[in-house]
Structure 1
Amino acid sequence: MSRFRKGRYICDEEDASDGSSSNQGENEKSDNLDHEIAHLTKIRSRPHKLLTRPVPGRLKLSVPTLNMLVGREVNSSGRGRFSAADSCHIMSRFLPVHGPQSVDQMKSRVYVSQFSADGSLFVAGCQGSHIRIYNVDRNWQIQKNIQAKSLRWTITDTSISPDQRFLVYASMSPVVHIVDVGSTTRESVANITEIHDGLDFSVDGDDDDEFGIFCVKFSTDGKELVAASSDNSIYVYDLQANRCTLRVPAHRSDVNTVCFADETGHLIFSGSDDKVCKVWDRRCFITNGQASGVLMGHLEGITFLDSRRDGRYFISNGKDQTTKLWDIRKMSSNTSSTPRLQNSGFDYRWMSYPTHARTLKHPRDQSLATYSGHTVLRTLIRCYFSPEHSTSQKYIYTGSSDSYVYIYDLVSGAQVGRLDFHDAPVRDCSWHPYYPMIISSSWDGNIVRWEYPGTGEVYRRKRTVARYRSTRG
């Protein structure tokens, strides 16, 4: 297992255009990830060798885009066009780190912010019961402004259906609501005459004040929802039958995160405050009722996980202040043998993580790699793979309670970007599936856009002036 330490690199305007080579030199890691996923990532983002004639004094990975364009025009590769790997090699070098520019400012903490699958819509949910859906293609015009129902504490999660017709949102309540988003060609700000139904996840309709949904996701076909709850269970809800079809007492503590592993919907990944990730195969669950396996390595509870969508790899954020990369082929099949780690007494909601704990290692760590530098405190900080289309998922990015967004190179573990604007924890962030654009949202109420290219200097100057005035009283 390769363990990566905190990177020192902060991507700036000069280096952002060459992000793939920014890990070299003094920031180069000697303990690069040596695993199948590293080789797959390199293959999917490595240009054709005939397009990468080295420039004297520069590394092959640093071949200028102009050279590749010239090679394409003279048909050096013999294909007459760029392959997907050629395109990813170019696009992944232009990190969306310039800015930010303001998208919106909420009056309360923003907990959730996500692009739709095609990037045409963006959803933001905040503690003050508001959920806004923006039409990205129409200059970020508000398409729908939703007033959340049955809200307890905050919006904990949202998910848009694959056809982008419906939105579900959850809070610390057993009822998940589904809303008709409406047409993408018109603005809709009212809930009247449009579907805004409640989907009851409680057992026998028991409205338990302690019950809440931390995470909810659509299946790829849009027919089911999977949810993670505070009663240590995961749920599957059949939207066509309008009922819960599966409840699994999955963990020993709160289940904070859950998702489908791939397009088939057979595999489910879950993560909990009991410090382990589990893999569930619905095809054999009826016969044994047990998890297919567990993955151990985090020393504290798990706040979020994201699947690579290939049914094999996923990442998780933990309250031990790390992100970990997993391969389910390394999981333990004997789920009853999971060791109970000694309770550290650490409470991430109000305590700082002990300095001595940062050097501790799990005695049976099964992760492929560990990425550190960000902080996971006060709230369930989220992490993701970068988009497949533009980067071949060669980066991992995460929010952080220290108000930054961090970007790590998956293979080298180097920190290749740190987005600095917010004044409060960044719980969620989202990378556009096709464009070099990241949206970060924070407890300071700001939703901002980072791009390549883009400067956001006007917004930055305004913020500087506002801070100066506040200090002057």
Structure 2
Amino acid sequence: MSRSGKSSNKCDRNAASGSRTNQGSSEASYLDHEIAHLTRLGSEPNEHFSRVVPGKLRLRLPISPVDMLVGREANYSGRGRFSSADCCHVLSRYLPINGPSVVNNMGSHTYVSQFSADGSLFVAGSQESHIRIFNVDAGWTVQKDILARSLRWTITDASLSPDQRFLVYSSMSPIVHIVNIGSAETESVANVTEIHEGLDFSLGDDDDDDYTRGIFSVKFSTDGRELVAASGDNSIYVYDLPTNKLSLRIQAHESDVNTVCFADETGHIIYSGSDDSLCKVWDRRCFGTKGQASGVMMGHIEGITFIDSRGDGRYFISNGKDQVVKLWDIRKINSVRINEEWDYRWMKYPAHARNMRHPQDQSLATYKGHSVLRTLIRCYFSPTYSTGQKYIYTGSADSYVYIYDLVTGARVAKLDFHLDAVRDLSWHPFYPALVSSSFDGVIAHWEFPGGNEEPVPAKQRRRWRREHL
């Protein structure tokens, strides 16, 4: 995790005109796999719209919204309306690259920033104990300002319950706290204005060094009844909320487990990533008899900082300290490891290692260009509703936000505003809007430039930062 340092500040915006500079890896550029076809099915228009502009669909060139409206009025698809894929084809062309506007300045390194599932709330957590919940629908007003309890080093993660009544937050401690965000109080000071209940993930261990058992990642299950957590003691924990006790501990890796998540809404399958450079797949339905991972995914040559599931129980992406995002299919399994002695918190990544490839790499594609240093940089699939999950987006230690095309590997946007590492970011589930949070303390809101206006020039953004930060 990051301790100090400052990132560079440069400008490179190739997305404003919709151009796609191919900065992806050769693997991603030639991705020909089931997920590529699923992505196209979910984000490309009905083939009958090619009647409007002959040959465009065959060449995979964008069909304009005007052409699609003509095709809809003429009922070329036979439906008389747009399908979800048709809508995604239109919406996914409008990337959130304009601005940004500043939502808030947290005043310290900001580690967590996430929209709720319906996009009505936004959660941000900083190193100086504050977690703020913004009401997006009410003009980004602060609905809850939470002062964390028993903080160790920083807020490492925070997660909203599916019903948006509760929030859990973690730090470098085996105690995860849960707070009721539906109460009337705006200022939530632990054990003063409200109770922040502590959930013990330590199993009563006698180890006095709580830092080695700190929680790096915590997530609610889809039904809100369980929490899954990644710990510095090399373990994964599952906590049952109705019974208020740990239901499972998996001694999962040989080093810190930095990230964990449920694979889909069933909660049966869990993905984990560790500093041992491995991603693992765990099936809880057969764990009692096997007691080991269902799959080991090898390809990263350094530790894993974050995993995001596509939500289908089959595909996920991972960010690694080897400076790449990788795409995985859990039906491909393998096991070796290459790891040099370096510390990503304060050392540059060795230049000679940037093009190294794991000899048993089983990933489907690799996306390069961003920087994974100093902290556990996060990456995500873009939303299903508006983009058909056709993009991957990630923060970066060089202060930019990067957006890649899932299928081609092209870098479609590189957003410049922040002065320091961008650790977390979140794309609105329904609108072309993205929020990034940085170690400069700023929460920035990016939107699609409506009315065909150009994005705000980098010179103006830099002037604003000099005046306000």
TM-score of the aligned structures, taking structure 2 as reference length? 0.91
Counterpart in the other structure of 1:400: 396
1:46 aligns with 2:44: yes
Per the alignment, in what secondary structure is the counterpart of residue 72 of structure 2?
A: helix
Distance 2:146 2:271 in 1: 30
Q: Deviations over 1:176-230 (max 9, x none)?
A: 00011116xx772234564421101112164533220000000000000000000
Of the three residues 266, 270, 274, the one matched with 2:268 is 266
Per the alignment, in what secondary structure is the counterpart of residue 418 of structure 1?
A: strand
Of the three residues 194, 214, 225, the one matched with 2:227 is 225
Bigger mean CA offset, 142-151 vs 456-465: 456-465
Counterpart in the other structure of 1:14: 17
Distance 2:272 2:99 in 1: 35
Counterpart in the other structure of 2:135: 135
Correspondence 1:68-83 to 2 at 5 A: 68-83=68-83
Distance change >3 Å, CA 286–CA 80, structure 1 → 2: same
Per the alignment, in what secondary structure is the counterpart of residue 51 of structure 1?
A: helix
Distance change >3 Å, CA 469–CA 255, structure 1 → 2: closer
Of the three residues 441, 444, 448, the one matched with 1:448 is 444
Correspondence 1:372-391 to 2 at 5 A: 372-391=368-387
Distance 1:109 1:291 in 2: 35
Counterpart in the other structure of 2:351: 355
Distance 1:129 1:460 in 2: 33
Distance 2:331 2:219 in 1: 24
Residue 466 of structure 1 deviates from its aligned partner by 5.2
Distance change >3 Å, CA 329–CA 377, structure 1 → 2: same
Per the alignment, in what secondary structure is the counterpart of residue 156 of structure 2?
A: strand
Q: Deviations over 1:123-155 (max 9, x none)?
A: 000000000000000000100000000100000
Residue 359 of structure 1 deviates from its aligned partner by 1.5
Q: Specify the code of the residue in structure 1 equivalent to 2:17.
A: E
Of the three residues 406, 411, 418, the one matched with 1:415 is 411
Distance 1:167 1:77 in 2: 45
TM-score of the aligned structures, taking structure 1 as reference length? 0.90
Per the alignment, in what secondary structure is the counterpart of residue 182 of structure 2?
A: coil
Distance 1:208 1:252 in 2: 18
Per the alignment, in what secondary structure is the counterpart of residue 204 of structure 2?
A: helix
Counterpart in the other structure of 1:234: 236
- % identical equivalent positions: 66
Per the alignment, in what secondary structure is the counterpart of residue 349 of structure 1?
A: coil
Correspondence 1:253-292 to 2 at 5 A: 253-292=255-294
Of the three residues 342, 345, 348, the one matched with 1:346 is 342
Per the alignment, in what secondary structure is the counterpart of residue 210 of structure 2?
A: coil
1:432 aligns with 2:428: yes
Distance 1:287 1:91 in 2: 46
Per the alignment, in what secondary structure is the counterpart of residue 62 of structure 1?
A: coil
Correspondence 1:456-467 to 2 at 5 A: 457=456, 461=460, 463-464=462-463, 467=466
Unaligned 5+ segments in structure 2 are 1-10
Contact 2:12-2:415 within 8 A present in 1 as well: no
Unaligned 5+ segments in structure 1 are 1-7, 16-21, 333-337
Residue 469 of structure 1 deviates from its aligned partner by 10
Distance 1:65 1:28 in 2: 31
Of the three residues 364, 368, 376, the one matched with 2:364 is 368
Contact 1:53-1:63 within 8 A present in 2 as well: no
Counterpart in the other structure of 1:112: 112
Residue 74 of structure 1 deviates from its aligned partner by 2.4
Q: Deviations over 1:73-113 (max 9, x none)?
A: 22221211100010000000111111111101111010000
RMSD: 2.4
Residue 346 of structure 1 deviates from its aligned partner by 1.6
Contact 1:306-1:315 within 8 A present in 2 as well: yes
Q: Specify the code of the residue in structure 2 equivalent to 1:389.
A: Y
Q: Deviations over 1:246-300 (max 9, x none)?
A: 0111000000000000000000000000000000000011112111110000000
Counterpart in the other structure of 2:197: 197
Counterpart in the other structure of 1:208: 209
Distance change >3 Å, CA 48–CA 465, structure 1 → 2: closer
Contact 1:10-1:415 within 8 A present in 2 as well: no
Residue 67 of structure 1 deviates from its aligned partner by 0.9
Residue 391 of structure 1 deviates from its aligned partner by 0.6
Distance 1:117 1:468 in 2: 35
Distance change >3 Å, CA 266–CA 27, structure 1 → 2: closer
How many residue pairs were aligned?
449
Distance 2:303 2:399 in 1: 21
Distance 1:429 1:106 in 2: 15
